[in-house]
Amino acid sequence: MPAHARSVSTVSGQGRSGEGRSAEDRPAAGRYTYRAKASRSEAPPHAAAKGERAKLAHALAAHRQLLSHASSAIRTLTAARNDMIAQALEDGLTLATVAAVTGENLRTVRTIGLAYDDLHASGVPRDAHVARLKAKSDELKAAGLHRDQIAERREALIVMALRTQICDDLELASLTGLTPDHIRRASRGIARPA
């Protein structure tokens, strides 16, 4: 092979292998790999904040619905118990007996009895009235305690949101269905980050 051909072949071979090396060693390829790893392992701070806000919004919406169901159950139980109070009074139970069994004061029991003016004696025995009133009153008390527990958990979520400043007062009012004044009262004494 002539010397001229040999030198061309060697130079072009180096050029090819040189190009191959520079493609592998290009900084852009290294940066691309690093970026891909970083995006998988670390979420940007604003994405984490959005995720926290979404979790909080979901939890507050769930508590709002639970409170709505609990309040509805209490209204239903109260109406049923008031019917029983009125019927028991119509059947001859005294105000004092009904008040003692239900835990209501005499004035409330009298007001409930007067609200029903179209009742007739049912013939149900005194002891049966007492047992039914006690059972319904206990059920109503348990429903009230359940609602209070849900409200306490919601208040804890509100305090957490105010401390971490995930939401402002108006957003929290919107998410909870409470007034902005309630949220401001809940925020008193809470240390917020500067």
pLDDT in tens, 71-126: 999 999 999 999 999 999 999 999 999 999 999 999 999 999 999 988 898 999 99
Amino acid identity, position 29: A
pLDDT in tens, 116-163: 988 898 999 999 999 999 999 999 999 999 999 999 999 999 988 888
Q: Write the CB contacts of 126 (distance below 8 Å, at least 6 apart in sequence).
A: 91, 92, 93
Domain residue ranges in the chain:
48-187
| Cα pseudo-dihedral 188, 190, 191, 194, rounded to 10 | -60
Q: How far is CA 33 from CA 20, 26, 27, 36, 156, in A?
A: 18, 12, 10, 5, 43
pLDDT in tens, 39-52: 444 445 566 667 88
